[in-house]
Structure 1
Amino acid sequence: MRRVLPFLLLLTACGGPSVGPKISGAPQPGNPVVVTTAPSAGAKPALGSAPDDLLDVDWQQATLTARFCGVEQPVTMRNGEATATSTTWGEVEVVVNPRRPAWFGDLDGDGRDEAAVNLYCENGGHTASSQLAFGLVVVRTVSGTMELIGEISTTTMRDDAPHVPSLTEPRFEYGAITVQELWYRPGDANCCPTGVSQTRWSVRDGTLKAGSAIQVS
């Protein structure tokens, strides 16, 4: 049965196994955060076969990683969901956003689009308050096989935030993806985060690493 999901499925997502470094007050521009969320080059997990054009992938049935949620091994989706064990939260549900499963853009300059797959994990409560972390899993195809490039997770969260932050609008360029991070101030409702920052994730040492978070609002 298709779940009725809260507004946050309109956003993209993410979080880290610790939901990103917490800070008091607003995110501080110029304070670098370097997060490695993918294995090093040469140790990529097997994600199975895939067509050369990632636009043809059914992400609701794909095998993907979810390290942003503390899940160490790839999970295979069944109708967009998978039960997995998180090293942080125990048993979790990993879910592909059915409203916007993925964004696409050419990250490596080969003329073919890579994909940033939109996932989140939750504790099974199926409400906004049950959501634990949001992430973008960035993949490409190599010789008919889907390969992980890295994961993008949130990098900032207030200590007094009422909800975990999410990601939206990934912008691809050669060697990097810039994302907007939507974070919550104390008075924000679950529907409406008022904080916005941008983080540029660059491909370095065979994975994606975050630069400084720049506050937008």
Structure 2
Amino acid sequence: MRRVLPLVLVLSACGGPASGPRITGQTEPGPTVAVTTNPPSSAAGRALGPAPDDLRAVDWRQATLPAVFCHVEKPVRLLDGTARATSALWGTVEVFLDVDVHYGDVDGDGREEAAISLGCDNTGGTASSQLAFAFAVVTARGGQLELVGEIAATTMRDDAPHVPLLAEPQFEKGAITVKELWYRPSDANCCPTGASLTRWWLRDGTLKADPAVQVS
């Protein structure tokens, strides 16, 4: 079984990924132009299986989690951190637990939610095979693991050599802010030089994004 590598190691491989729709957020000089689309969304409130009251006790490497960000309609069951699935856009893909899990209280009920870092690739296992990254935000309610929403990238140059990365989710009551790390044409796979902040608001029971604000 393919070992899920830390993000910094995976990105050291050569090549550029086949990617899905790309969207704007940058205004920089030069011949490149960015195009616009909407990030994928998930149906909030979907039960994902039994869960303890304390989300920190969940073994996320064996959890059932959504993968709409990879255009996979149904949740996938991870086994040792990975799962094969069929993407409506890319065909056979591998969904994997990426790096770490973050915790905080977004709905203000005094109990933590979890933001699980996920990625998907075309089963190649290198940076050139990576297709998308996201955070799946879940809560425990009534003994069930329940989806709050997915946080996907909203910012990408149309000439980027690699798909954007997501990092540093910051929880507050009613919102989660994430850093999007995006690539300029001359960037190596290891080192995206662009960064934007996107705030995802908890509205109508799910997470909805405000436009990204460029920070570098």
Instruction: Check the 8 A contact 1:24/1:159 in 2, yes or no.
Output: no
Residues in 2 aligned to 1:192 and 1:60: alpha-carbon distance in whole angstroms:
27
Residue matched to 1:87? 88
Amino acid of the structure 2 residue aligned with 1:37: S
Instruction: Check the 8 A contact 1:34/1:210 in 2, yes or no.
Output: no
Instruction: Check the 8 A contact 1:140/1:149 in 2, yes or no.
Output: yes
Amino acid of the structure 1 residue aligned with 2:201: S
Change (3 A) 1:107 1:23: closer
Question: 1:58-207 counterparts in 2 under 5 A?
Answer: 58-97=59-98, 99-100=99-100, 102-207=101-206
Residues in 1 aligned to 2:185 and 2:58: alpha-carbon distance in whole angstroms:
39
Residues in 2 aligned to 1:58 and 1:133: alpha-carbon distance in whole angstroms:
23
Report the Cα offset of residue 178 of structure 1: 0.2
Report the Cα offset of residue 190 of structure 1: 0.2
Residue matched to 1:37? 41
The answer for unaligned runs of 5 or more in structure 2 is: 12-18, 29-35
Residues in 2 aligned to 1:176 and 1:9: alpha-carbon distance in whole angstroms:
30
Secondary structure (helix, strand or coil) at the match of 2:65 reads: strand
Residues in 2 aligned to 1:83 and 1:167: alpha-carbon distance in whole angstroms:
22
TM-score (norm 1): 0.86
Instruction: Check the 8 A contact 1:36/1:209 in 2, yes or no.
Output: no
Residue matched to 2:54? 53
Instruction: Check the 8 A contact 2:151/2:207 in 1, yes or no.
Output: yes
Residues in 2 aligned to 1:9 and 1:152: alpha-carbon distance in whole angstroms:
23
Residues in 1 aligned to 2:159 and 2:92: alpha-carbon distance in whole angstroms:
25
Query: Residue deviations 1:181-209, cap 9 Å, x none?
Result: 00000000000000000000001122111
Query: Residue deviations 1:45-91, cap 9 Å, x none?
Result: 33000011110000000000010110000110101000001111011
Query: Residue deviations 1:149-202, cap 9 Å, x none?
Result: 000000011111000001000000001000000000000000000000000000
Identical counterparts, % of pairs: 59
Instruction: Check the 8 A contact 1:93/1:124 in 2, yes or no.
Output: yes
Residues in 2 aligned to 1:94 and 1:33: alpha-carbon distance in whole angstroms:
22
Residues in 2 aligned to 1:198 and 1:10: alpha-carbon distance in whole angstroms:
23
Change (3 A) 1:24 1:182: closer
Residue matched to 1:14? none
Amino acid of the structure 2 residue aligned with 1:61: Q
The answer for unaligned runs of 5 or more in structure 1 is: 12-16, 27-31
Instruction: Check the 8 A contact 1:19/1:157 in 2, yes or no.
Output: no
Instruction: Check the 8 A contact 1:6/1:127 in 2, yes or no.
Output: no
TM-score (norm 2): 0.86
